[in-house]
Amino acid sequence: MMPFRAVFLVLVCALATEAAELKVGQKVYPKLDATARVDNDEINIAIVPYPAIVGKIDGDNVWLERAWVKKSDVLTEVDALEQLDAGLAKQPQDTTLLVRRGIIHRERSNHAEAITDLTMALRIDPKNAAARSHRALAWREVSAMELALADANTAVELNDEAPDAYIHRGLIWLRMGRQVEALEDLGVASRLDSTMPRPFFLRGQLLLELNDLDEALTEFDGALRLNPYDADAYAERADAWRRKNEYRKSIEDFTRVIEFRPNDAAAYSNRGAAYSHLKEIDQALADYTRALELNPKLSVAYSNRGQVWLNKKAFDKCIVECTMALWFEPGNAYAYYYRGEAWHMKGNYELARDDYSSAINSDRMPASVYSLRGHVCFELRDFPAAIEDYTKALELDPGDQTAVLNRGLAYQFLRRPDEALADYTTAIELDDQDAEAYALRAGILTDQKKWSQALNDFEEAHRLRPDDDEILNSIAWIRATCPEDRCRDAKAALEHARRACELRQWKNWMHVDTLAAAYAEAGEFKIAADWAEKCLALAPRKHHDDIQSRLDLYRAQKPYRETDDE
C-alpha cells in the first residue's frame, strides 16, 4: 500500500564541513598543488571535483570521487575560504583564486558574493569558460534562469570539450523542467570523459524521476564502477531497486550506505522500509529504532514504524508513532495515512476521515486513500460522499475492484439499483473469483424478480464460497419459493437450507424460515409448520405477521410462493 519515494528515499545532507577530523560524506576542497593518485599512478589534481565528497578514508589518504588524495592536501570549507581570501589579498587579479572562491560562496549559498567573484574573473578574462560555467550555476540558484542559460551556452561555446560545462547546463535545463535537454547534455559530458562518475549519477537521478528504472540502474552502475565509494549512488540505486520491488537488492545497497556512513539515520530508515516490504518485521523495527536513536526528529522513521505497528494490529502504538511523526513534520502524508487506518480499524470513523483527508491533500498518495476514505464515509452512512471518493479512486486506478464493489453497495443503499448492478458487474469482470460480487449482484437481480439470473449468480457464489450460510440460504429460498417452476427444486432447497441452519447452529430465524418453506415445497407440510412455529419463537416481533401468514399456508397444505410484482 505503500507508496512511496516520499516515504522510502530520504537523501542525506553532507556532514558539517568545519569538523577537525575528516569524515566520510564530508565536503572538502583539494589544494591547488595537491597530488592525486589512481592505482598508484599520479594524475592531474584538476580531475578531482571542487568541492569533492569524501568517499573513503584509508590511513593518511582520502578518496575524493575520482582519486586518492592525502589528508594534508585537502581543506575544509572554512580553511579553504581563508586561504583564498589571503591569496586574493596578495593577487587580486588571479582568476583561478576568484573562481574557486566564487564556487565556495555558491556552496555556502552566498550567491551575491559568488556572482561578484565570478564576474570579476570574467572582467579580467572574458574567455574564462570555468568562470562563465560556475556563474551560470550561481544565477540558477537565484532563479535568474535566462542569465543562467546564457552563461551556460557561452561556457559551452568557449570550451565545447569541457564536461563540466555540459553538466552545469544540464543542471540548468533540469531547473527549467527541460528533461530531454538535460539528459542530452549529461550524456555529452559522460562521452567527453567516460571516467567521470558525476554525469552517470545525475543521469541516473533524472531517469529515476522519469521512472525509467532499468536505464537508471545502468547509469548508477556506471557511477559506482567509477566511484565505488559513493554512498549517495548506492542510496539512489537502492531506491531504483525498491521501485522495481527488488527489496533484497535494495537492502544490499542500503547496507553499503550504512557501511560508509554508519550514522546515517535515513539509510537505516530506508532499509527498514525494505525489510517491512519483505515482512521481515523484526529487522524493520530494529532499523527504524536505530534511525531514531541517530536522529530523534526523523519523521519518516516514526511513520514507517507506525506502519509496522499497524500491520501487527497494534493500533494504539501506530497512532502514537504517527502523531510523533507529525509533530516533527506536519506535512508527513503517510503519517496521516497510517494513523487514519489505525483510527479506521478502531472504529473511530470521524478521526479516520479527518486523517485520510489530510493525506489526500498531499502529493503522491496512492489511489487507495480515496477508497479508504470512501469506506469510512460508508460507515458514517454518508453514501454520496462515499460514492464520490470511490469514483475518484477509480479515476486514479480503474482496476480497484474493491472500490467499484463498495460503490455498488453505496448505490444500493441509496436505492439506485441500476447503478449498483452495473458496478457489481464491473467488479465481477475485474475479479471473477469474488463470491461477494456475485452474491451482491444476485441480490439486486432477486429484487428485480430476475429469478433465473439471480439463481445463477448465487450458485456461482456458492461454488466459490461453499460454506457461506447467507448464500446457501438465498439459493434455498429461490429453490423453494420461486414463482417460476424451472427454478424450484425441493431437494436442493432442503439440502441448502439444512446446511445454512447447521452453520448458524439453528439460531438464525431467516434460515429456519427458509427451511420451513423448503419442506412445504417438498410437500412435507406438517414438518414445514413445525419449523415455522420455531421460526416465530426466534424472529423479532415485527416479522411475525409475515411468518404467521406462511404458517397458515402450510397448515392449509399449501407452499409459499414469491410473486413477480415489483
pLDDT tens, position by position, 477-518: 999 999 999 999 999 999 999 999 999 999 999 999 999 999
Model confidence at 565, in pLDDT bands (50, 70, 90)?
Answer: low
| β partners of residue 261 | none
Average pLDDT value for residue range 158-169: 95
Which range among 40-49, 154-163, 266-275, 359-368 shows the weakest confidence by mean pLDDT? Answer: 359-368
Q: Mean pLDDT across the stretch 163-168?
A: 95
Average pLDDT, the chain: 93
Overall average pLDDT of the 163-180 stretch: 95
pLDDT attached to residue 3: 35
3-class state of residue 164 by DSSP:
helix
| Biggest CA pair distance of the chain | 121
Residue 303 backbone phi and psi in degrees, to 5: -70, -35
Q: Report the distance separating Cα 101 and Cα 124, nearest Å.
A: 15
Confidence at residue 368, expressed as pLDDT on a 0 to 100 scale? 87
**What percent of the chain clears pLDDT 90, i.e. is strictly above it?**
89
Which of 43-47, 136-140, 160-164, 284-288 is least confident? 43-47
Predicted local confidence at residue 200, as pLDDT: 96
Residue 346: enclosing H or E segment and its boundaries?
A: helix 333-346
* Mean pLDDT along residues 82-94: 95
The answer, yes or no, to whether residue 14 has pLDDT greater than 80, is no
In this structure, the number of other CB atoms found within 10 A of the CB of residue 39 comes to 7
- Residue 329 · residue 299 · CB < 8 Å: yes
- Rounded CA gap, 365 and 350, in Å? 20
| β-bridge partners, 27 | 53
What does the chain come to in residues?
566
The mean pLDDT value for 242-269 works out to: 96
Task: Confirm if 484 and 452 have CB atoms less than 8 A apart.
Answer: yes
Average of per-residue pLDDT across 395-410: 95
Q: Does 12 have pLDDT greater than 90? A: no
Which positions ≥6 away from 220 have C-beta within 8 Å? 200, 201, 204, 233, 236, 237, 240
Q: Is pLDDT at 301 greater than 90 in this prediction?
A: yes
| Cα–Cα dist 290/61, whole Å | 30
Which of the pair, 24 or 1, is modelled with greater confidence?
A: 24
The rounded distance, in Å, linking the Cα atoms of 174 and 152 is 13
Q: DSSP assignment, residue 36?
A: E
C-alpha dihedral over 375, 381, 386, 388, to 10 degrees?
Answer: -170
Reported as type and span, the H/E element at residue 359 is: helix 349-360
- Is the confidence at residue 16, as pLDDT, over 50? no
3-state secondary structure of 1: coil
Kindly state the percentage of the chain with pLDDT values over 70: 96
pLDDT over threshold 60, residue 17: no
Contact 322, 338 (CB under 8 A): yes
CA distance 534 to 511: 11
- 509 Cβ neighbours under 8 A, 6+ residues apart: 535, 538, 539, 540, 543
43 vs 354: CA distance, rounded Å: 61
pLDDT at res. 566: 53
Q: At residue 174, does pLDDT exceed 80? A: yes
Please check the confidence at residue 1 and state whether its pLDDT lies above 70. no
Amino acid code (one letter) for 359:
A
Q: Is the dihedral of CA 61, 62, 68, 74 positive or negative?
A: negative
Stretch 373-379: mean pLDDT: 96
